Amino acid sequence: MTTAGELASTIGARAEQALGAACDHLIGLRSPEGWWKGELRTNVTIDAEDLLLRRFLGILDEDDTAETARWIRSRQRDDGTWATFHGGPPDLSTTVEAYTALRLAGDPPGDPHMRAAAAFVRGAGGIEATRVFTRIWLALFGQWPWERLPVLPAEMIFLPPWFPLNVHDWACWARQTIVPLTIVSAHRPVRPLPFDLAELRTGVAPPQGPRRGWEAAFDHLDRLLHRYQRRPVKRLREAALRRAAEWIVARQELDGSWGGIQPPWVYSLIALDLSGYDLRHPVMAKGIKGFERFIIRDADGRRLEACQSPVWDTALAINALLDAGIPAEHPAVTEGADWLLGEEVRCPGDWQVRRPGLPPGGWAFEFDNDVYPDTDDTAEVILALRRTHRPGVRPAIDRGVRWMTGMASRDGGFAAFDADNTRTLCEKPPFCDFGAVIDPPSADVTAHVAEALAYERPGSPALRRAVRWLIDAQEPDGSWFGRWGANHVYGTGAVVPALVAAGVATRAPCVRRAVAWLERHQNDDGGWGEDMRSYRDPSWIGRGASTASQTAWALLALLAARENSAAVERGVRWLVDHQRPDGTWDEPHYTGTGFPGDFNINYHLYRLVFPITALGRYLHAHRGDRSREDAQASKDVQAPKGGQVPWGDQVSAGDHGQEGGQALEGVR
C-alpha cells in the first residue's frame, strides 16, 4: 500500500513544475498599471436587460443588439432553456428575459430555438410564474399590467434609520435597487414593444400556498398601497420622488455606475429618465458611458459583466504569488501593492448610518465603488500589503484595520458591506422574491477578517469575539456555510485557516470535525466540488464535479490543520493532473456566489490564484520551509498580551454547543 510519504515524494516535483507554470501565467495576466482582473461571468439576464434598458431609453444600437443576441443564443441549451449557472437546471425567469431580448433582436417566434424556449416557458407556468423583477421589466413595455405588481411606495425614502423597512434596513445592493424602483413604481411607464409575448402566457395564475404571519400582513399592506397609489397625497409624493432622485444622484460612482453592479445601475438610469433627466445630462451620460468598461466582445458575441473585481483579484494574486515563494521585491508584487494603496477608500458611505463615528478606511471590490467599501476586500488587501513592506503600507493598514474592526456586528461576526444589517422583516414584502436582501454576518467574511486580525491585532477583543462567532457558527456536520462562494467547501476552506491563525489548536474538535467533513466529501478523482444547487437542496452539500478553485479551498483548510494525509496528496495530484499546458485550469463550473441560490458567478481568476496558493503552501509544508515572516507572524499570534493564547488548547469540549463557550470563556 502506498503511504502518504511515498505519494508526496512522487508528486512534489510535479507540483513544483505546476506551480511555476501557474505563476508565470498569472504574472502574464497583470495589467500595465499593476492590477489583475479576471472576467466575472454570470448569466444572460444581464445581457437581456442591457438590451431592454437601451430600448427603454431609446438608444438601442443595431450592431450591439445583433452581437448581444449572438451571445445569448450561444448560451441556450439543447432543451431551449437558459440556466443561471453551468450545468444548472432551467430557469424560468432567465429564459423569459433571454427570449424577450431575442425577439427584440428580430428572432422570429417560429424559429426552432424560439419555439423550444416558449414551450418550456408555458410548461413552467408562463410569464405568470416569473419572479417580480422579470415582470417589472415586462411591465415597462406593456407586457404585464402594473396593477398586478407589488407597490414600492416612494414615501419610504422618508423613513428614519430606526424605523422598520427604512431603506438602510436593506443590504446596500438591495437599497440601491429599491430606491429607484420606488420612482418607477410611482410613474408606471409603458413604452410598447413592436411585438406581443402572447406565446409565453398561460392565462393561469400560479397556485399560491397559504400565507400567514408577516407575509399575510404585507399582502394586506400591498392592497392598501395599491389604493393609495391611485390617489397619493400629491405634495408628499412629489417631495418623495425628488428626495429619491437626489438620493440616487448622490450615490453615483466616479465611473458612472451605482455600486459598480448591474441591477441598481440600470434601474437608476430608468428612474432618473422618468424623473426628467435628459440623456445629455452629465449623470445620465456618465451612467450610459460607464457600461463600456463592463462590456466584453469576443468571437461569441457581446456580453456584460454584472460587476468587476480588480481590488479583490489583485489582493488574491499578490497573496498567491507570495505563497508561491515569489519575493516581495518582484515587480508584480510591488506594483500590485502600490496600485492597491492608491485604491484605499477615504470617503464617507452608507455604512456610516450604522457606524456614524467610525472614520473611513479600507478597500472596495471594484475600480470605483468607493461608496461601498467592504470588510472582505479590506481583510484580503491587508493580508497582502502587510507582506510587501511598501512605503505607505503601515498607515493604510492601520486605517483599514480600524475601519474593518469598527464594522463588527453586535454578535461579533462580520458582514460584507454593513454592520447589523439583520432585520429579516425586509425579506417579507411581496417584491422581495429574488436574491438576498439583507447582509448579515457570514462565516466566510468573518473568517477573512479574523485571519487579518490574527496577524495585525492578535489577542484583540474583536478577534476573540470573531473566533467565538465562527466556532458557534459551525454546522452540525463539521462544515461552515459559504455566503460568497460555493458553498460549504468555500466556507470551511476559509474558516479553518483563520481559526488556526488565531491560535485555535489544530487538534481542537472544531478543526478535526472540519477535516473529517472535507475528507468525507473528497471526490473519487481526488478533487473537491460543490454544486450551486447546494444552496437550495441539502443533498448537494459537498457534492459536485471537481473544480480547481474548490479543490484548492479544501487543501487550504487541510494544510492549515497540518494534515499530512493521502487526502492532501490526492488533492494536489488532481491539481497537477488537470493543469492546462499554459499553466492555468479549465473551470466551466460556477463557484462564486452573488445571491445564494439565485445569482451565481464564475470568477475566471479563481481557477488560478487559489491553486497557486494551495500548491505554494503545500510545497512549503512538504519541504518544511516556513518563511521567517510567517514564523514571526505565527509567534506573534501564539503569544498575545502576556504570552497566553486565549483559546486553542481550551477548545476541546465534546459537543458543538459546549465548544464555543469554552473556547472563549470570559470574552464579552
What does the alpha-carbon distance between residue 297 and residue 37 come to, in Å, rounded to a whole number? 16
Chain region(s) in the chain for CATH 1.50.10.20: 4-40+308-660, 43-196+210-304
Nearest-5° angle of CA 51, CA 119, CA 81?
A: 55
What does the alpha-carbon distance between residue 270 and residue 255 come to, in Å, rounded to a whole number? 18
> What's the whole-number mean pLDDT along residues 573-582?
98
Three cell numbers written together for 276: 426628467
- DSSP for 8-26, written as a single string: HHHHHHHHHHHHHHHHHHH
**Which is it for strands 592-595 and 599-603: parallel, antiparallel or unpaired?**
antiparallel
What does the alpha-carbon distance between residue 100 and residue 176 come to, in Å, rounded to a whole number? 25
pLDDT value of residue 628: 39
pLDDT at 15 over 70: yes
User: For 557-588, b where at least 16 C-beta lie within 10 A, e where not — what string?
Assistant: bbbbbebeebbbbbbbbbbbebbeeebbbebe
| Interval 243-301: pLDDT, tens | 999 999 999 999 999 999 999 999 999 999 999 999 999 999 999 999 999 999 999 99
Q: Exactly one of 376, 377, 444, 598 is catalytic; name it.
A: 376
* Residue 11 banded pLDDT, cuts 50, 70, 90: confident
| Topology at the third CATH level for domain 43-196+210-304 | Glycosyltransferase (1.50.10)
| Interval 635-661: pLDDT, tens | 333 333 333 334 443 343 333 232 333
pLDDT at 25 over 50: yes
pLDDT value of residue 432: 83
pLDDT value of residue 431: 84
Is residue 524 annotated as a catalytic residue, yes or no?
A: no
**DSSP symbol at 290:** G
Q: Cell 463615528 belongs to which residue?
A: 357
| Range scoring the smallest mean pLDDT among 134-148, 252-266, 306-320, 626-640 | 626-640
> What's the whole-number mean pLDDT along residues 223-227?
91
| Interval 350-359: pLDDT, tens | 999 999 999 9
Q: Cell 396593477 belongs to which residue?
A: 147
Higher pLDDT, 456 or 389: 456
| Range scoring the smallest mean pLDDT among 82-91, 92-101, 223-232, 325-334 | 223-232
pLDDT value of residue 214: 84
Average pLDDT, the chain: 91
pLDDT value of residue 434: 79
What percent of the chain is modeled with pLDDT above 70?
92
pLDDT value of residue 5: 53
pLDDT at 316 over 80: yes
| Interval 48-61: pLDDT, tens | 999 999 999 999 99
Three cell numbers written together for 372: 461601498
> What's the whole-number mean pLDDT along residues 91-115?
98
pLDDT at 578 over 70: yes
What does the alpha-carbon distance between residue 376 and residue 445 come to, in Å, rounded to a whole number? 5
**Which is it for strands 40-41 and 295-298: parallel, antiparallel or unpaired?**
unpaired
Element (H, E) at 149: none
What does the alpha-carbon distance between residue 292 and residue 296 come to, in Å, rounded to a whole number? 9
| Range scoring the smallest mean pLDDT among 5-19, 394-408, 648-662 | 648-662
Residues in the chain: 668
* Residue 435 banded pLDDT, cuts 50, 70, 90: confident
Instruction: Write the single-letter amino acid at 349.
Output: G
* Residue 624 banded pLDDT, cuts 50, 70, 90: low
Q: How far is CA 316 from the centre of its chain?
A: 15
Contact 117, 154 (CB under 8 A): no
pLDDT at 146 over 80: yes
> What's the whole-number mean pLDDT along residues 494-501?
98
The hierarchical CATH code for the domain 4-40+308-660 is: 1.50.10.20
Q: How far is CA 470 from CA 464, 493, 560, in A?
A: 10, 13, 16
Q: How far is CA 172 from CA 44, 224, 259, 263, 310, in A?
A: 23, 27, 8, 12, 20
> What's the whole-number mean pLDDT along residues 469-483?
98
* End-to-end CA separation in angstroms for the chain: 51
What does the alpha-carbon distance between residue 282 and residue 288 come to, in Å, rounded to a whole number? 10
